[in-house]
Chain A
Amino acid sequence: MDIIIDVKNLNAWYGEKQVLYNVSLQIPRYNITAIIGPSGCGKTTFLRCLNRLHELTPGNRVEGEIYFYGKNFKGNIYDSKVDPVEIRRHMGMVFQKPNPFPMLSVYDNVAIGLKINGIRDKKKIDEIVMDSLKKAYLLDEVKDALHKSGASLSGGQQQRLCIARAIAYNPEVILLDEPTSALDPVATSKIEQLLVELKREYTIVIVTHNMQQAARIADYTAFMYLGKLIEFAPTEELFETPKNELTERYITGKFG
């Protein structure tokens, strides 16, 4: 298996409170990996450790190693010499609530990151913006509204705009934290189709509280409980013949 992220003995704290315990997990390249588990199991924290977002909150702490085998970066992302900003460029994040910049146009929502990163060539920016919108299955719907506010789009379109914004940085990994929990089933289905399409070019890690979503789109699924990784397996195996009794009880709804 071609591994892009190798997590080794990851521990994480919010202040004094430990929320992840010795999580070790290998994420395969060009696959969708879903993280499931009850609220508070640490799945979002795990995701935020993958691109060093967790440590941004004062008092938060991470121990352990995460090896990233990207095109332009190879090594432990928690090595002291590593610039976290660079890591976040390789691993884009999409959040639960669509968060386009409301003051910016659809176009500028995608272009802003390129401009901040010093790209001045308008033609190139144009090319990347259009390509990102196209890859995010959004271009056809917004091509006549590129200069309208990002906030004028529907929820599902806004979320796809956020995916386009993440893609524009040319990341290798896209991390998504419950990206469809605020969307209706039709918008959800579009995002799911989009993710399955995107895995041809990107590695995707998605946190979801919707087990059926994991079952529908993920190649591999991890089940976490109380800050620990309980089981990690190919999705069809985890949902048909889970090895761990806790996994069995959680996915069949026999929990607590």
Chain B
Amino acid sequence: MRLIDEGLARLNSKIIRMANLSRETVELAVRAYLKNERLTEKIFNNSETLRILQDEVSELAVELIARYQPVASDLRYIKSCMEIAYGFSRFGRYAYDIMQVLEVFGDLSSCDQTKIIKANDIVHKMINLSIEAFINKDLAKAEEVDKMDDDIDDIYESHLSNLIKEKPQDLRCAVSATLILRYLERIADHASYIAEAVLYIVKGERRPRK
């Protein structure tokens, strides 16, 4: 065992903690929307914890670089952990933003939730796959996440163009759905960045950003 390995293990466990907490936070936010539950405080606290964990990951990464001057796969892993931690903290932030929509608009359970349910199903899978891809360094799963990102983009873009065509009667439902779809689409982007980071860790390759 190398001296750096203990530090890398600590980094890994922080990332996994962030992965689980950020997944849970996004799930809570979507549940609050679908079932009109008030989970603002819980989601705010989770989001704050994720932000603090992101700072800790950053500090630990810099410490490992300063102490061990890592190279090759160690260096790629540490750099990626910083990016991935940022991604997870964004999950928390967007979950909080979804919660804020409920705070502003109140009960939205009577609005048509079909599109959000559909988008959430995909985002939920993308989050899980990106976490599994990271934990198991599984390139096939990372690849799947990348493909699913296009589906989310399609849902969001077709929602926007329909909105303009249809001129919705209920602005409250239309605006809140647009915002929530936008936040889910951003979460999906970050899930695909996490998957891209797995490719970089394993093979040292970078895919051009879309």
Contact = CB atoms under 8 A, between A and B. Distances in A.
Interface of A: 211-212, 215, 239-242, 247-248, 251-254
B72 A240 contact: yes
Contacts of A242: 72
B71 A239 contact: yes
B73 interface: yes
Most B-side CB within 10 Å, residue of A211, A215, A252: A252
A223 to B, nearest CB: 11
Contacts of B20: none
A215 B2 contact: no
Contacts, number: 31
Contact of B70 (A241, A247, A248, A252): A252
Nearest to A215: B71
The 3 A-B residue pairs with the shortest CB-CB distance in the complex, in nearest-first order: A241-B204, A239-B71, A251-B71
B189 to A, nearest CB: 25
Contacts of B109: none
A72 B16 CA distance: 62
B74 A252 contact: yes
Contacts of B13: none
Nearest to A250: B72
Interface in B71-97: 71-76
B113 interface: no
B45 interface: no
A117 to B, nearest CB: 43
Contacts of B4: 253
Contact of B73 (A211, A212, A215, A248): A248
Contacts of A251: 71-72
Nearest to A239: B71
A242 B75 CA distance: 12
Interface string B16-55: 0000000000000000000000000000000000000000
Contact of A253 (B2, B75, B76): B2
Given A212-B69, A251-B71, A252-B70, A240 B2 contact: no
B76 to A, nearest CB: 7
A215 B68 CA distance: 14
A85 B170 CA distance: 92
A10 B70 CA distance: 32
Nearest to A211: B71
A240 B79 CA distance: 11
